[in-house]
C-alpha cells in the first residue's frame, strides 16, 4: 500500500497521465499506466482514472493496450457510462489488420460485464466467427457464451447457435472445443449441447488433434452420447482405447469414466478397462504433485469398491512417504486396510505400527483405527501391537487404542477375553472424553471379565464434580447400571452416590433425565432392569464373516473424476439431476435425426415455400459442387436430404431446392450461388431454410450436416462408387 | 455441470493476501476468496487439511508453491484432476518465465503474469498453455507493436504446435541427457521395503529448420518398453512420451521418431518397479543417554562398480531438537550441524564404488529433557553418479535429417541420482 492516502495517489496519477510531457514520452507514460494497474491489483480503487485510461488505449504498444483493457474490464461494471466511451476504440481494434489486436480487443470487449453490452458486441462477434485467423475465431466463439451470460434470460439466438454448430468442423482444434463449451453454456436450459451421432463421431475422429484439456472435456461431453448398436459401441471403444493410457492423468481418468459409462451393459469390457487403467492409476498415486496424487488415490478407492482385488499386489505403493501431507496418508491407510491378505499382513502391520507414533495426533489415531479394522480379521497380531502402544503412555495414543478396543469387541466378540485382560492391566486412563466413553463402555459391558472394573469406575464417580462432558456422564450412568447387574456387591454403594449426584446436583437436563430413568427402572426390580439394559443385541460379527460386498460399477461411476469423492461427500446434488436431465436428450436425439420420408410433389413444395417465412439464411463458405445432377442427388440422399429441382448446367445464378424431414417437422431449403443481390455469394453457396413447424434443434442438426459433409466431398465419394 | 470451467484464479501470499486475481467467468463473487484463507487456517489447526475446500456453493481447489497459494474457484462439480493439472501448468509456465515462482517474482512481473493469465485461459477454459508458444508473443521486455512484427505466431495454429518454423543455429547440435533417479526405502531392520527407478531422457535441441529425429535405444530397453519382454526381470511402467513422438510409429516398428521442440524438453520418461539394492548402503547406531548426550555412528558403503564414482554425496542424519555442542569425526568428507533443521549433513565430494566411510557425531543433551514427542525422520542420502545407469538403458544412435541437409552432432550423457530415503525406528 502506498504511504499516501488513496485520494492523493489517484490525484497524483491523474496529474501525471494528463501531463502532455508525460504523454509525449512513451516509456514514462507506460510506467504510469503500469503503476495504475499495480495499485488496482493491491485493491486500491483507481476507477476515478477511467477517462485518462481510455485515452491511453489508443496506442500501438500492445502491452500498454493489454493493461488498459484489463483496467477497463475491472471497472466497466462500476462505470458503465464511461465504459461506453471505450467501446469505439475497442471496435476499431476489432477491425485491425493484426489478428493479435483483433483477438485481444474482442476478448476484452466481451469481458465487460455490464448491461446493454450486447448491442455493441454482437456484430464484432459475428464477424469474429468468420475471421480468417483462428486466434480470433477462438475468442469469438467463447464471446458468444459471454454474450449469452450477460442476458441469460433472453431468447436463444438461433443464428449464433447454428454458426457454432457449423464451426464444430473448424480446422483449429481449440475452436472446435470452444464451440462445445460455448454451446453448453448457451443451451444449458435446454440440456446443453446436443451430441448426436455425426457430432460424436466427428469429435472422436478429432480427438488426437486436441490438447489434453480439450480431450478431457470432449470425453466428458461424449458421456451424453449413446451408441445405437454394439458394433458402433465397440468401434468407439477401440478409438478411445489409446486414451486410457494417456500420459495426462486427467485424460486417462476421463476416458475410463466414459468407457465405464458406455460399456455399462458389458461387465467384461468394464473389468478389462479397469485392469488396463490400473497401471496409470497407480502411477498417478505416485505423481510428483501431491494434489494429483490425492486425486489418484480417491480414484483408486472408487475403483476398489467394485474390484477390491485389483491393486492387491501393489500394496507397497500405498505405504506413506515421510513428508507426505496428512490428507494423502489418511487415504493411503484406508486403502491399505482394504488390501490386507495373509501374505502381506505382517508387512502392512509393521508399516502401520510405524505411523502410530507420528507427530500428528490425528494421523497416529487414524493409524491405530486402521490396525483396529485389520484386527477384525487378524485379531491376535493386531492386539499385540495395540497393547504394545499402550506402553508408550501417550494420552492420544492410549485414547485411540481404547476406542479401537471398544469397536473391536463389538465387531469381534471372540476377541473380548484378550481385550479385557489388557484393559484390566492398563493403568493409564484416557484424558479426552471419547477415550473415557470408550473405556466406560468396556467396563460396563464386560465388567465381569475385568477384575479391576469397579475400582476404575469408582475413580470416575469420585471425580464427577470436575467432569465437564455430559456424554461421559451419560456413559458413566449406563456403565454403572450394567456393572451393578453383574457385580452388585461392589457397585451398589457407588451407583447410589452417582444417581444421587446426577438427580440432585447435575445441571444438564439430559443427564438428569437419564439418571431418573435408571432410578425408576431399578425401582421396578433387578430382573426388569436386566431385561431392558442387557437385552439381546444384533450380531455385527456376521458382517465380518460375509466380507465386503463388491458393489456394481454403476454405484460410483457417475461421480468418478468429480470433486465429490475428493471432498469426501457428494458435493453437488445436481449431478443426479444432470444425469436425469441428460436422459431425455438420448430420446430427443432419436427424434431429431433426419429421414427421407415420402416424396413431396412440386405443387406442395411451391405452396409451402411461398407460405413460410425464411427462418435462417447462411453463407456456407464453399462453392456449389460441379457434379452431374444425379450424383449430387445421390450424395444428398446419403445424408437423408431429398432434392426437388436444380438449375441445369452452369447457368448463373445456380439454384437448387431440397427438403428433408424428421418425425413432425419438414425442412425446406434453397441453395443459391451467384446472386448479384447477395454480396459475397458469387463464390460460395447461400442456403435459406424454412421449416414447418419451427424446431431449432432440428435446424442445428441440418446445418451441422451441411457443414460437416461439404457437399463437394460427398459428391466425389458418390462418383467413386 | 459438465465442463471444467474455473470461475476465477487467484495467487495469494502466505498470509492470504491476494497478489493476483483474474475473474474469468464472473459467476462467483470475487470476495469469496476471503473465506479461502479462513478455511485453510481452520483445517490446518484441525490437522484435516484437504486440497478441495468448500464454502457454500463455492469450491476452492488449491496448490501451494514456494511462498504462494494458487487457488481456482468454481461453483461446478468440475473434473478435479484437470483443475489441479491446470494449476500446475500455471506453475510450470510462470517458472519458465521467471526462473523461480515466488512472491517476489510475481510482484516484479505482474504485467507479464496478467498477460499470461489472459492467454492461458478464457471464460474459465484453458486456451494456449504451451510455454514455448507463449514465449513467442509474450516477453518480459514487453514487445512494442509494429504491425509486421507482432503477429500471431504460426505455432498457435501450426500442425506442429510445439515448434515454429524458421529456427536458425550456426552450429547444429543436440544434447541428450539420460537421467535415472532411484528411490529406495529401507526399514529399521535393513530390509528394502520398496524400490523403483524413475528415468527420463531430456533433450537440448539446437537445430535449424524442421529436423526429423530418430532415437535408437538398446534392444533390451526397447523390449522392456514395449512389454514384449514378459519373461525377463525388467519391465517399464508408466512410459510417457513427449507429444512430438509419433506413437503409431513406435507401436508398429518400435522406432522413436519425432520433430523435436526447440531448446530444452523431456522426450520421454519411465518408471521401473524392480528390486534395486541401495547404491550407497547406510548403517547407523544412535545411542541416547538421557540428560547427558547422544552418540551417532554412521557407516556408508558404495555398492556400485569400482570404476564409477558418486559425486556430491550428502548424508542427512536427523538429531534430537534439543541437542547441542556438536563434535564430529569423519574418515572422509566433512560433517556440519544444521540446527534449524535438526540435522547433521555429512558431505563427501567424491565417493568411489566399493569404498566404505565412517562418521561419528557426539551431541550434548540438556539436563531438563524435552518431553514433546518427536517424529523419527529417516536418514536420507543424495548423490549423483555420472556415466552410469541402473537400468542399463543406452542410446545407440540419434539420426538427424533436415531437408537442407546440414550435419548435426548428437551428444549423450548418463547420470544416476538418488531420490531415496532410508529410515530407522
**What string of pLDDT tens digits covers the 425 residues of chain B?**
445 678 999 999 988 889 999 989 888 888 889 999 989 988 887 778 889 998 988 999 999 998 899 999 988 877 778 889 999 999 999 999 988 899 989 988 888 999 999 999 999 999 999 888 888 888 766 443 343 344 555 555 555 678 888 889 988 989 999 999 998 888 877 788 788 889 999 999 999 999 999 998 887 777 777 665 444 445 677 788 888 888 878 877 778 999 999 999 999 998 887 778 889 989 888 888 878 888 999 999 998 888 888 999 999 998 888 888 899 999 889 999 999 888 999 999 989 988 999 999 999 988 876 666 666 788 999 999 988 888 888 888 888 988 888 888 888 888 998 876 565 54
Cell of A276: 488396463
- What pLDDT does A265 receive? 92
- What pLDDT does A715 receive? 52
Cell of B410: 548428437
pLDDT tens column, A334-375: 999 999 999 999 999 999 998 998 878 888 999 999 999 999
CA distances from A657 to A560, A643, A663, A676, A707 (A): 49, 6, 20, 19, 17
Task: Enumerate the residues of chain B whose CB falls inside 8 A of the CB of residue A139.
Answer: 122
Q: Which stretches of B72-228 are DSSP H helices?
A: 80-98, 103-108, 110-120, 131-137, 219-226
Check A357 against B376: CB less than 8 A apart: yes
Point out the least confidently predicted range of A168-172, A489-493, B130-134, B335-339: B130-134
How far is residue A668's CA from residue A660's CA, in Å, rounded to a whole number? 7
Higher pLDDT among residues A625 and A71, named by residue: A71
Higher pLDDT among residues A139 and A44, named by residue: A139
H or E stretch covering A685 = none
Task: Enumerate the residues of chain A whose CB falls inside 8 A of the CB of residue B71.
Answer: none
- What is the residue-wise DSSP string for A61-87? -HHHHHHHHHHHHHHTTT-HHHHHHHH
Question: End-to-end CA distance of chain A, in Å?
Answer: 75
Check B78 against A326: CB less than 8 A apart: no
pTM of the model: 0.69
Contact B153, A176 (CB under 8 A): no
Q: Which residues pair with B11 in a beta bridge?
A: B20, B70
Q: Which residues pair with B328 in a beta bridge?
A: B361
Check A37 against B110: CB less than 8 A apart: yes
Task: Enumerate the residues of chain A whose CB falls inside 8 A of the CB of residue B379.
Answer: none
Q: How far is B201 from chain A (nearest CA, A)?
A: 15
Contact B291, B365 (CB under 8 A): yes
H or E stretch covering A594 = none
The residue to which cell 451398589 is assigned = A492
With H, G, I as helix, E, B as strand and everything else as coil, classify residue B210.
coil
Task: Enumerate the residues of chain A whose CB falls inside 8 A of the CB of residue B193.
Answer: 316, 319, 347, 351
Q: How far is A573 from chain B (nearest CA, A)?
A: 10
How far is residue A329's CA from residue A318's CA, in Å, rounded to a whole number? 9
How far is residue A516's CA from residue A179's CA, in Å, rounded to a whole number? 70
Q: How far is A463 from chain B (nearest CA, A)?
A: 27
pLDDT tens column, A521-575: 999 999 989 888 886 665 555 454 445 567 888 888 888 888 878 876 544 433 3
Cell of A482: 450394567
Q: Among all residues of chain A, which has the CA nearest to that of B30? A: A74
How far is residue A616's CA from residue A694's CA, in Å, rounded to a whole number? 11
Higher pLDDT among residues A646 and B208, named by residue: B208
With H, G, I as helix, E, B as strand and everything else as coil, classify residue A185.
helix
With H, G, I as helix, E, B as strand and everything else as coil, classify residue A387.
helix
Cell of A408: 473391536
Task: Enumerate the residues of chain A whose CB falls inside 8 A of the CB of residue B147.
Answer: 60, 97-98
How far is residue A394's CA from residue A359's CA, in Å, rounded to a whole number? 11
Q: How far is A184 from chain B (nearest CA, A)?
A: 8
Contact B309, B353 (CB under 8 A): yes
Q: Which of A139, A249, A357 sits opposite B81 (nearest CB)?
A: A249
- What pLDDT does A687 receive? 80
- The pLDDT confidence band at residue A395, using thresholds 50, 70 and 90, is confident
Q: Which of B3, B144, B146 sits opposite A181 (nearest CB)?
A: B3
Task: Enumerate the residues of chain B whose CB falls inside 8 A of the CB of residue A297.
Answer: none
- What is the ipTM score, two decimals? 0.73
- What pLDDT does B81 receive? 83
Query: If you average pLDDT over every residue of chain A, what do you get?
Result: 84
Distance of CA A681 to the CA centre of its chain: 45
- What pLDDT does B1 receive? 40
Handedness of CA B105, B108, B111, B114 (dihedral sign): positive
Q: How far is B408 from chain A (nearest CA, A)?
A: 30
- What pLDDT does A469 receive? 87
Res A1 pLDDT > 70? no
How far is residue B422's CA from residue B284's CA, in Å, rounded to a whole number? 11
Q: Among all residues of chain B, which has the CA nearest to that of A315? A: B194
Check B152 against A100: CB less than 8 A apart: yes
pLDDT tens column, A275-297: 988 988 998 898 888 999 999 99
- What pLDDT does A60 receive? 83
pLDDT tens column, A130-142: 999 999 999 999 9
Residue A15 backbone phi and psi in degrees, to 5 = -55, -45
What proportion of chain A, given as a percentage, has pLDDT over 90?
A: 41
Amino acid at each position: 500500500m502506498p504511504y499516501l492516502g488513496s485520494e492523493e495517489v489517484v490525484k497524483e496519477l491523474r496529474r501525471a497521465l494528463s501531463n502532455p510531457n508525460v504523454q509525449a514520452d512513451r516509456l514514462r507514460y507506460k510506467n504510469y499506466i503500469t503503476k495504475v494497474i499495480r495499485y488496482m491489483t493491491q485493491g486500491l480503487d483507481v476507477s476515478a482514472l477511467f477517462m485518462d485510461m481510455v485515452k491511453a488505449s489508443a496506442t500501438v504498444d500492445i502491452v500498454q493496450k493489454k493493461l488498459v483493457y484489463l483496467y477497463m474490464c475491472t471497472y466497466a461494471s462500476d462505470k458503465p457510462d464511461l465504459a461506453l466511451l471505450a467501446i469505439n476504440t475497442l471496435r476499431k481494434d476489432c477491425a485491425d489488420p493484426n489478428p493479435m489486436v483483433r483477438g485481444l480487443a474482442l476478448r476484452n470487449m466481451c469481458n465487460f460485464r455490464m448491461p446493454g453490452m450486447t448491442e455493441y458486441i454482437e456484430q464484432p462477434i459475428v464477424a469474429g466467427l468468420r475471421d480468417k485467423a483462428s486466434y480470433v475465431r477462438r475468442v469469438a466463439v467463447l464471446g458468444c457464451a459471454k454474450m449469452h451470460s450477460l442476458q441469460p434470460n433472453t431468447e436463444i439466438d438461433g443464428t449464433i447457435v447454428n454458426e457454432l454448430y457449423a464451426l464444430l468442423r473448424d480446422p483449429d482444434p481449440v475452436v472446435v472445443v470452444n464451440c462445445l463449451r460455448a454451446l453448453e453454456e448457451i443451451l444449458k436450459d435446454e440440456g446443453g449441447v446436443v451430441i448426436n451421432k455425426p457430432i460424436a463421431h466427428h469429435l472422436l475422429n478429432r480427438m488426437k488433434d486436441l490438447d489434453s484439456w480439450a480431450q478431457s472435456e470432449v470425453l466428458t461431453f461424449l458421456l451424453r452420447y449413446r451408441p445405437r448398436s454394439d458394433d458402433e459401441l465397440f468401434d468407439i471403444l477401440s478409438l478411445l482405447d489409446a486414451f486410457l493410457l494417456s500420459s495426462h492423468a486427467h485424460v486417462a481418468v476421463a476416458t475410463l469414466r466414459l468407457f465405464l459409462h458406455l460399456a455399462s451393459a458389458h461387465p467384461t469390457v468394464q473389468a478389462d478397462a479397469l485392469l488396463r487403467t490400473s497401471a496409470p492409476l497407480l502411477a498417478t498415486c505416485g505423481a510428483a504433485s501431491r494434489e494429483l496424487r490425492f486425486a489418484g488415490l480417491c480414484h483408486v478407492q472408487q475403483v476398489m469398491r467394485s474390484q477390491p482385488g485389483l491393486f492387491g499386489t501393489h500394496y507397497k505403493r500405498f505405504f506413506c512417504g515421510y513428508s507426505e501431507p496428512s490428507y494423502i496418508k489418511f487415504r493411503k491407510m484406508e486403502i491399505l486396510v482394504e488390501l490386507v491378505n495373509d501374505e502381506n499382513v505382517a508387512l502392512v502391520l509393521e508399516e502401520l505400527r510405524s505411523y502410530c507414533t507420528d507427530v500428528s495426533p490425528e494421523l497416529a489415531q487414524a493409524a491405530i483405527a486402521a490396525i483396529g479394522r485389520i484386527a477384525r480379521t487378524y485379531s491376535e497380531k493386531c492386539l499385540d501391537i495395540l497393547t504394545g502402544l499402550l506402553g508408550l503412555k501417550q494420552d492420544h495414543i492410549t485414547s485411540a487404542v481404547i476406542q479401537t478396543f471398544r469397536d473391536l469387541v463389538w465387531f469381534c466378540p471372540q476377541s473380548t477375553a484378550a481385550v479385557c485382560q489388557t484393559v484390566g492391566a492398563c493403568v493409564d486412563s484416557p484424558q479426552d472424553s471419547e477415550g473415557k466413553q470408550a473405556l466406560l463402555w468396556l467396563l460396563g459391558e464386560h465388567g465381569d471379565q475385568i477384575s479391576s472394573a469397579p475400582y476404575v469406575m469408582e475413580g470416575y464417580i469420585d471425580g464427577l464434580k470436575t467432569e465437564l462432558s455430559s456424554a461421559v456422564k451419560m456413559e458413566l450412568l449406563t456403565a454403572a447400571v450394567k456393572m451393578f447387574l453383574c457385580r452388585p456387591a461392589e457397585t451398589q454403594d457407588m451407583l447410589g452416590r452417582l444417581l444421587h449426584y446426577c438427580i440432585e446436583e447435575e445441571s444438564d437436563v439430559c443427564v438428569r433425565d437419564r439418571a431418573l430413568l435408571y432410578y425408576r427402572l431399578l425401582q421396578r426390580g433387578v430382573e426388569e432392569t436386566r431385561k431392558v439394559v442387557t437385552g439381546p443385541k444384533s450380531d455385527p460379527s456376521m458382517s465380518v464373516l460375509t466380507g465386503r460386498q463388491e458393489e456394481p460399477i454403476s454405484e460410483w461411476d457417475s461421480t468418478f473424476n468429480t470433486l465429490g469423492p475428493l471432498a469426501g461427500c457428494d458435493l453437488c446434488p445436481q449431478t443426479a439431476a444432470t444425469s436425469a436431465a441428460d436422459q431425455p436428450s438420448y430420446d430427443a436425439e432419436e427424434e431429431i435425426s433426419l429421414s427421407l420420408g415420402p416424396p413431396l410433389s412440386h405443387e406442395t413444395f411451391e405452396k409451402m415455400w411461398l407460405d413460410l417465412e425464411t427462418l435462417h439464411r447462411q453463407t456456407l463458405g464453399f462453392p456449389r459442387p460441379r457434379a452431374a445432377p444425379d450424383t449430387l442427388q445421390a450424395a444428398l440422399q446419403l445424408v437423408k436430404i431429398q432434392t426437388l429441382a436444380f438449375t441445369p448446367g452452369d447457368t448463373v445464378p445456380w439454384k437448387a431446392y431440397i427438403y428433408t424431414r424428421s418425425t413432425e417437422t419438414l425442412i425446406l431449403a434453397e441453395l443459391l450461388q451467384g446472386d448479384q443481390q447477395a454480396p459475397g455469394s458469387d463464390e460460395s453457396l447461400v442456403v435459406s431454410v424454412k421449416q414447418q413447424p419451427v424446431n431449432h434443434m432440428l435446424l442445428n442438426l441440418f446445418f451441422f450436416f451441411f457443414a460437416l459433409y461439404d457437399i463437394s466431398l460427398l459428391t466425389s465419394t458418390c462418383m467413386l462408387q | 455441470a459438465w465442463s471444467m470451467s474455473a470461475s476465477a484464479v487467484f495467487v495469494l501470499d502466505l498470509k492470504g493476501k491476494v497478489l493476483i486475481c483474474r475473474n474469468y467467468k464472473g459467476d462467483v463473487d470475487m470476495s469469496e476468496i476471503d473465506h479461502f484463507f479462513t478455511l485453510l487456517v481452520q483445517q490446518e489447526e484441525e490437522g484435516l487439511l484437504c486440497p478441495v475446500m468448500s464454502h457454500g456453493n463455492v469450491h476452492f481447489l488449491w496448490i501451494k508453491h514456494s511462498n504462494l497459494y494458487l487457488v481456482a474457484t468454481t461453483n461446478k462439480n468440475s473434473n478435479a484432476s484437470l483443475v489441479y493439472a491446470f494449476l500446475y501448468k500455471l506453475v510450470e509456465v510462470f517458472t519458465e518465465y521467471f526462473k523461480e515462482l515466488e512472491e517476489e517474482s510475481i510482484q516484479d512481473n505482474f504485467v507479464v503474469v496478467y498477460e499470461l493469465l489472459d492467454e492461458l485461459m478464457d471464460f474459465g477454459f484453458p486456451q494456449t498453455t504451451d510455454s514455448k508458444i507463449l514465449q513467442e508473443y509474450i516477453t518480459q521486455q514487453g514487445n512494442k507493436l509494429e504491425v509486421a512484427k507482432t503477429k500471431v505466431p504460426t505455432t498457435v495454429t501450426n500442425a506442429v504446435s510445439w515448434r515454429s518454423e524458421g529456427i536458425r543455429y550456426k552450429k547444429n547440435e543436440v544434447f541428450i541427457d539420460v537421467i535415472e533417479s532411484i528411490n529406495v526405502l529401507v526399514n529399521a531392520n535393513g530390509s528394502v521395503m520398496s524400490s523403483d527407478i524413475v528415468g527420463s531422457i531430456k533433450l537440448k535441441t539446437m537445430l535449424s529448420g524442421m529436423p526429423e529425429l530418430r532415437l535408437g535405444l538398446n534392444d533390451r530397453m526397447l523390449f522392456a518398453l514395449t512389454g514384449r519382454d514378459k519373461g525377463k526381470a525388467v519391465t517399464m511402467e508408466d512410459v510417457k512420451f513427449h507429444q512430438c513422438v509419433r506413437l503409431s510409429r513406435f507401436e508398429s516398428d518400435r522406432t522413436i521418431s519425432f520433430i523435436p521442440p526447440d531448446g530444452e524438453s523431456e522426450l520421454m520418461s519411465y518408471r521401473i518397479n524392480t528390486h534395486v539394492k541401495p547404491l550407497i548402503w547406510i548403517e547407523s547406531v544412535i545411542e541416547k543417554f538421557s540428560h547427558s548426550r547422544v552418540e551417532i555412528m554412521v557407516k556408508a558403503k558404495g555398492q556400485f562398480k569400482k570404476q564409477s564414482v558418486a559425486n556430491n554425496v550428502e548424508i542427512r542424519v536427523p538429531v534430537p531438537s534439543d541437542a547441542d555442542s556438536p563434535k564430529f569425526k569423519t574418515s572422509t568428507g566433512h560433517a556440519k550441524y544444521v540446527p534449524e533443521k535438526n540435522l547433521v549433513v555429512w558431505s563427501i565430494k567424491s565417493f568411489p564404488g566399493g569404498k566404505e566411510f565412517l562418521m561419528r557425531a557426539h551431541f550434548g543433551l540438556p539436563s531438563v529433557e524435552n518431553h514433546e514427542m518427536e517424529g523419527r525422520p529417516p536418514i536420507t542420502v543424495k548423490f549423483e553418479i555420472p556415466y552410469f545407469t541402473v537400468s542399463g538403458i543406452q542410446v545407440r544412435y540419434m539420426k538427424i535429417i533436415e531437408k537442407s541437409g546440414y550435419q548435426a552432432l548428437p551428444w549423450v550423457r548418463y547420470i544416476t541420482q538418488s531420490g531415496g530415503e532410508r529410515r530407522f525406528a
